């Protein structure tokens, strides 16, 4: 599966958080715990339904909340040029 | 052949100059860093340019299959992939050379790995302490209070990993206090203080994540290559893990003794 992460990124996990630099904009993004969880999942799947399901399991949130959070987060990543 | 060489933190750079005027310019502006020219150096062949070399005032660093190019309106260099041989077309003045050299050094230094941090540096009790921040934060002021004779720089310090240790080295890149000191100092990095304005002397420890963000925002770097930025990120992470980092505020009335006490 091709990761949706854009190729012009540099990123690392530091103290359990993802630090992502968009090298085109030179903006540094620091993700919180949930964001980092989703970010790591994007190397395996870009399917929002699957991601929301895994979010439910990990954080014991309702499926509706997980779907809402996932959709919102993926949109933010897209707007910031971090995923295609 | 008109040559002269400098050594910055162990990186030896030999300038092959078109005239004695160039040799004189380099010797005068990098006097503390002049070393005998040896075989093992990065060779820079200088060619004097007078016309604008590009339209942009912002520097551009480009990597292609042949190697590297560093481009600005007053200089244009082409280097091989290892930066061992460079042809530098440049206007003949110390400002253009200094600007180019900083950019060149950021690329070459990353191989060590190392980075140029916008910081003043101070050598104290066998170690080094950095005071980081953008222009106007107080880097030169704190250097004046602590004393220029033990300063690594008041503008740009080179942090590099040597074995398991992090070292801070003085550079010829000075700000307000240029030309700096004739002492070229380096030592094990013992602490980094990110400066902020306040009326009293205080320090606050900051988290690893915050250290990484501050290091990255204080690093001088021009290439946008993800692989190189990843190296910088990795270096910032190492600094955050190994070096005590604080936010520091101080007042103009603080003494050298008071500042040295807070380094511990």
Q: What are the pLDDT digits (tens) for B61-98?
A: 999 898 999 999 999 999 999 999 999 999 999 999 99
ipTM for the assembly: 0.85
Report long-range pairs for B137-140 (Cβ below 8 Å, ≥24 apart). Answer: B137/B195, B137/B196, B137/B197, B138/B195, B138/B197, B138/B250, B139/B175, B139/B195, B140/B175, B140/B176, B140/B177
Within its chain, how far is the Cα of B129 from the centroid? 15
Contact residues, chain A, for B237 at CB < 8 Å = 12, 14
pTM of this structure: 0.93
Residue B166 CB partners (closer than 8 Å, separation 6+): B159, B160, B188, B189, B238, B239, B242, B243
Closest-CA distance of chain B to residue A28, Å: 8
Q: Residue A25 gets which letter from DSSP?
A: T
Nearest-angstrom CA–CA distance, B167 and A5: 35
- Tokens 């110390």: give the residue: B94
Phi, psi of B164 (to 5 degrees): -95, -5
**Contact check, Cβ <8 Å, A10/B226:** yes
Nearest to B237 among A12, A26, A28 (CB): A12
Token representation of residue B153: 């720089």
- Verify whether the Cβ–Cβ distance A14 to B208 is below 8 Å: yes
Question: Which residues contact residue B255 at a Cβ distance below 8 angstroms, ignoring those fewer than 6 apart?
Answer: B145
Rounded Cα gap, residues B39 and A78, in angstroms: 51
Q: Assign B62 to helix, strand or coil.
A: strand
List, for residues B201-215, the tens digit of each pLDDT value: 999 999 999 999 999
Considering only alpha carbons, which residue of chain A is nearest residue B224? A23
Which residues does chain A have with pLDDT short of 50? Answer: none
- Window B:199-218, CB contacts with A under 8 Å: 207-209, 212-213, 216-217
Nearest to B233 among A8, A15, A19 (CB): A19
């Amino acid at each position: 599966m091709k990761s949706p992460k854009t190729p012009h990124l540099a990123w690392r996990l530091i103290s359990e958080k993802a630090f992502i630099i968009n090298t085109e904009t030179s903006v540094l993004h620091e993700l919180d715990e949930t964001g980092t969880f989703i970010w790591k999942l994007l190397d395996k799947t870009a399917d929002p339904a699957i991601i929301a399901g895994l979010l439910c399991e990990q954080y014991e949130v309702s499926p509706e909340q997980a779907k809402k959070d996932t959709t919102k987060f993926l949109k933010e990543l897209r707007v910031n040029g971090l995923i295609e | 052949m008109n040559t002269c060489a400098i050594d910055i933190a162990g990186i030896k750079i030999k300038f092959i100059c078109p005239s004695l005027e160039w040799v004189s310019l380099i010797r005068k502006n990098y006097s503390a860093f002049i070393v005998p020219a040896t075989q093992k150096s990065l060779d820079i062949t200088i060619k004097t340019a007078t016309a604008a070399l590009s339209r942009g005032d912002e520097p551009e660093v480009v990597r292609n299959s042949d190697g590297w190019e560093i481009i600005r309106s007053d200089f244009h260099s082409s280097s091989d992939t290892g930066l061992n041989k460079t042809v530098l077309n440049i206007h003949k003045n110390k400002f253009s050379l200094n600007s180019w050299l900083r950019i060149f050094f950021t690329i070459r230094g990353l191989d060590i790995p190392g980075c140029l941090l916008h910081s003043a540096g101070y050598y104290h009790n066998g170690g080094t302490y950095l005071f980081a921040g953008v222009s106007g934060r107080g880097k030169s002021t704190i250097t004046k209070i602590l004393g220029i004779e033990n300063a690594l720089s008041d503008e740009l310090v080179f942090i590099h990993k040597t074995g398991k240790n992090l070292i801070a080295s003085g550079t010829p890149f000075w700000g307000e206090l240029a030309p700096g000191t004739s002492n070229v100092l380096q030592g094990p990095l013992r602490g980094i203080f990110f400066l902020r304005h306040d009326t009293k002397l205080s320090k606050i420890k900051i988290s690893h994540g915050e250290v990484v963000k501050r290091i990255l925002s204080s690093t001088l770097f021009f290439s946008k290559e993800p692989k190189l930025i990843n190296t910088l990120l990795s270096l910032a992470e190492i600094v955050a893990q190994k070096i005590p980092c604080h936010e520091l505020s101080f007042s103009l009335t603080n003494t050298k003794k008071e500042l040295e006490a807070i380094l511990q």
